[in-house]
Structure 1
């Protein structure tokens, strides 16, 4: 047995918090994931660090919130109807190559590192710490020719080969699937199986259910391979999603969907399994994917680089049953951008999934600070009437229907103070007033060579 544990990160694209059967789906079938969850620690209040693909992935691989690295959008921070934008968004940046990533830290700590599937950050995986670069783009998937939906089975086979080739040394495998992102694809017999099944009240789309089942089959292949190689007991497997589900896939009772900072856009499934060390359990402690970096380093016995700033906190003590809570009090989000989405389910208005906003989740409380109203509509002096903040008690109101910002005044003011202090600490910029100096043209799809993922 290796002294250091192997680490597998099984990462799904756009899988919602309630999509796996073990999280409460009333239609999807995920027997392998259900078994996996029964053998690990299930985190019921887990979050992605972003409401869509690229920012969430940049946060996870860097261990940092968006103000540290600048990756705040997919493609562009100015997406949507320009006439409805009251401010100029903060420009998006790629994750800097000099940012010392999780993969680089594990590689320098003696791990063989490999990625298979979606990268979608900046540069190439080879430039950010991966020895084996199996990156693929959605444009390379040809389901009609391969009958392999989103290349899920070929990617899984490559991942299994990587584990076999490196079974004598500790490895970090990042299996980054394109499922269950649109365009939905699944093998016809699986679609027909779900078409013949009684629909659920929450979930009812046969093609999407088939795609979820294919993802579950991939997990089954990974776990079977680990056992065949004799690596099962000393391999830590993380299972999660990069953000919430799209609007067509409900996550009842959560509000919103991918692209929004309401719970439906950022709450995700998360399970960690390590048979030799971790006992099966359930946790309600809020975990965010920037916590993966310090957690994996601690589990691997690797010291953090002295000059590396990490915003996440290791949840190893929770995995080991030594603690029930983390020391931090608050999770933050900073997205000073416009993200298009006409009449999106759960959105604040009919034009955008996201307007410039900073968010704090502290205990049962969720606080949203909207830049437009703060900058243009009188700021804190008009807080009683300008709708610059929203406040929800997630324990009592997980659907975020009852805004308590004009009721729980003391809590509102305390969280506004906390958010401003955090923004100052991390140099998080507000969206900007519209001036000739700040102006940039709105993003238009197809305006340059772009990959299909959004």
Structure 2
């Protein structure tokens, strides 16, 4: 097998059922995600895929390192926000091996186009963690036209320097990605492109909302703005841009040997469609952590495949290294498990036990097969997800022995992780909602 090009596309706060291929309903203007729907139809769709966290930064730590984010101090902030500018603590340590740094050392060209959200210069940044090129915002969410964060600070970068450029941010990111492919497609070395959109993260602005773009959102919630139609248009704009990227791959004749993976960093927010799941961002209920996973790689993946294989973000980092034939650094062993056998034979599956913990409301969760153990606000829940994806029927009392076993398994796993630092903070978003009573 040739050394593949790899494009890792990450949406921001996208709900499980926002895409048509995951059951999403058409918008007033028509299908929301025709390009991604086509990638799923011609590739492999995961129905039981998860994010490493229900918030932005921790998932991105796991994506970059292929390890549980809890191993790094910066990931204890939920999430890192713009007030951490200048911090020498809250970020991805440059000395830690990363997916791009390992690929770069093995001959891949590397670029991040889009959101970083893993700490600020001078101590942290994409160019310090394995990327040769960077274009995008350093923080979590910025206005799509002014490119200012919620404090009013301008946040668009090119390399290590701030960059000013007119345009709708989603389109700027997409066009930069196309330009990058045009520049490196003919090179003898393969490339790794992280394409990390801010869409459909707040503020909720479509291309036609430029007239109100001067209003920099003054808080995380932005409760006075947005609507479902605008939200769906934001997804559609991202989908169009991914179409431009796929067109560029085909134009250069490299689409068949390029692994394209699409996901979201966590579950959706206010306007998202998570059906049939409950909860959303900030929650360890299914709506906060189960996300779309689509893999397209014509040389390896047969079209029209669907799998129930359970996985989470860091598994895909391990998968990409495996697909590239790159060995992880022995001093930083991966927690992620390669899914390459499933990509080659989607009918195959293996047991994958998944763990989460969350400062907010003392949440914890463990998924093992069909069963999920969940704790929120000191209350324990046990769900059979095969029969109850909406997590409505708490079986904790009826299955007390199973609950005790899973609680003990979570405690044993947690003992292998560093404790949550006492000074870790939470940037509050949307808490666990509509939980069933004990």
Aligned equivalents of 2:229 and 2:333: distance in 1? 44
Instruction: Assess, with a 3 A threshold, how the Cα gap between structure 1 residues 140 and 252 changes in structure 2: closer, same or farther.
Output: closer
Matching residue of 1:221: 244
Query: 5+ unaligned residues in a row in structure 1: which ranges?
Result: 78-91, 190-203, 338-353, 374-386, 432-437, 446-454
Instruction: Assess, with a 3 A threshold, how the Cα gap between structure 1 residues 264 and 140 changes in structure 2: closer, same or farther.
Output: closer
Residue by residue over 1:207-259, the C-alpha shift from the partner in whole angstroms, topping out at 9 and shown as x without a partner, is 11111111110111010000001111110000111111103323122110111
Matching residue of 1:399: 390
Query: 5+ unaligned residues in a row in structure 2: which ranges?
Result: 82-88, 148-163, 210-226, 429-438
Please tell me the root mean square deviation across aligned C-alpha atoms, in Å: 2.7
What secondary structure does 2:236 align onto? helix
How many pairs are equivalent? Answer: 377
Tell whether 2:132 aligns with 1:108. Answer: no
Conservation of the 8 A alpha-carbon contact between 1:125 and 1:135 = no
The alpha carbon displacement at 1:279 in A equals 0.7
Matching residue of 2:76: 72
The alpha carbon displacement at 1:46 in A equals 0.9
Matching residue of 2:223: none
Matching residue of 1:262: 285
Alignment of 1:193-212 (within 5 A): 205-212=228-235
What secondary structure does 2:110 align onto? strand
Tell whether 2:179 aligns with 1:161. Answer: yes
Tell whether 2:145 aligns with 1:142. Answer: yes
The alpha carbon displacement at 1:309 in A equals 1.7
Tell whether 2:191 aligns with 1:171. Answer: yes
The alpha carbon displacement at 1:30 in A equals 1.2
Tell whether 2:46 aligns with 1:43. Answer: yes
Alignment of 1:47-446 (within 5 A): 47-70=50-73, 71-75=75-79, 93-122=90-119, 123-137=124-138, 138-139=141-142, 141-142=144-145, 148-149=167-168, 151-167=169-185, 168=187, 169-188=189-208, 205-280=228-303, 281-321=305-345, 324-328=348-352, 330-335=353-358, 337=359, 354-370=360-376, 373=378, 387=379, 389-427=380-418, 429=419
Aligned equivalents of 1:231 and 1:300: distance in 2? 16
**TM-score calculated relative to the size of structure 1:** 0.77
Instruction: Assess, with a 3 A threshold, how the Cα gap between structure 1 residues 48 and 441 changes in structure 2: closer, same or farther.
Output: closer
Larger radius of gyration: 1
Conservation of the 8 A alpha-carbon contact between 1:247 and 1:256 = no
The alpha carbon displacement at 1:66 in A equals 2.7
Conservation of the 8 A alpha-carbon contact between 1:179 and 1:215 = yes
Aligned equivalents of 1:246 and 1:140: distance in 2? 17
Instruction: Assess, with a 3 A threshold, how the Cα gap between structure 1 residues 124 and 140 changes in structure 2: closer, same or farther.
Output: farther
Aligned equivalents of 2:110 and 2:388: distance in 1? 42
Aligned equivalents of 2:180 and 2:80: distance in 1? 34
Aligned equivalents of 1:156 and 1:418: distance in 2? 43
The alpha carbon displacement at 1:140 in A equals 6.8
What secondary structure does 2:131 align onto? coil
**TM-score calculated relative to the size of structure 2:** 0.80
Aligned equivalents of 1:441 and 1:72: distance in 2? 6
Conservation of the 8 A alpha-carbon contact between 1:313 and 1:326 = no
Residue by residue over 1:302-351, the C-alpha shift from the partner in whole angstroms, topping out at 9 and shown as x without a partner, is 122222221110000000007621343x100122x2xxxxxxxxxxxxxx
The alpha carbon displacement at 1:3 in A equals 3.0
What secondary structure does 2:17 align onto? coil
The alpha carbon displacement at 1:164 in A equals 1.7
The alpha carbon displacement at 1:299 in A equals 0.6
The alpha carbon displacement at 1:103 in A equals 0.9
The alpha carbon displacement at 1:359 in A equals 1.2
Report the more deviating stretch, 416-425 or 312-321: 416-425
Aligned equivalents of 1:133 and 1:308: distance in 2? 25
What secondary structure does 1:47 align onto? coil
The alpha carbon displacement at 1:409 in A equals 1.0
